[in-house]
Amino acid sequence: GAVVSQHPSRVICKSGTSVKIECRSLDFQATTMFWYRQFPKQSLMLMATSNEGSKATYEQGVEKDKFLINHASLTLSTLTVTSAHPEDSSFYICSPLRGRETQYFGPGTRLLVL
């Protein structure tokens, strides 16, 4: 397996504020990090792929100016939800890539925007 941490695990914020989520790969260096979002009773939706030192690649329909991703080191990636709105309330999960194609998931961050 792999050890991945996310912080915070749960956050409640007011509409219009920004929220930063940190994802750390604790036992291996992750060149590539995937960020997912999951709404209740739905499957994982890939939001973006980030490579260390490069700009993230966003999936179709995901606003890059709203979901800022920084992958400055091989062990840390951050997702910032800017000007959050209630429709951004979701479960956000990071997933570092180990090797060529094995993904391990962080514990997730549950965001509630009031």
Partner 1 sequence: QKEVEQNSGPLSVPEGAIASLNCTYSDRGSQSFFWYRQYSGKSPELIMSIYSNGDKEDGRFTAQLNKASQYVSLLIRDSQPSDSATYLCAVGTDQGGKLIFGQGTELSVKP
Contact set with partner 1 (CB under 8 A) = 1, 32, 34, 42-44, 46, 49, 91, 93, 97, 100-108
Q: Where are the alpha helices (DSSP H) in 1-114?
A: none
- Whole-number minimum distance, CB 63 to partner 1, in Å? 20
- Whole-number minimum distance, CB 29 to partner 1, in Å? 14
Nearest to partner 1 of 80, 103 (CB atom): 103
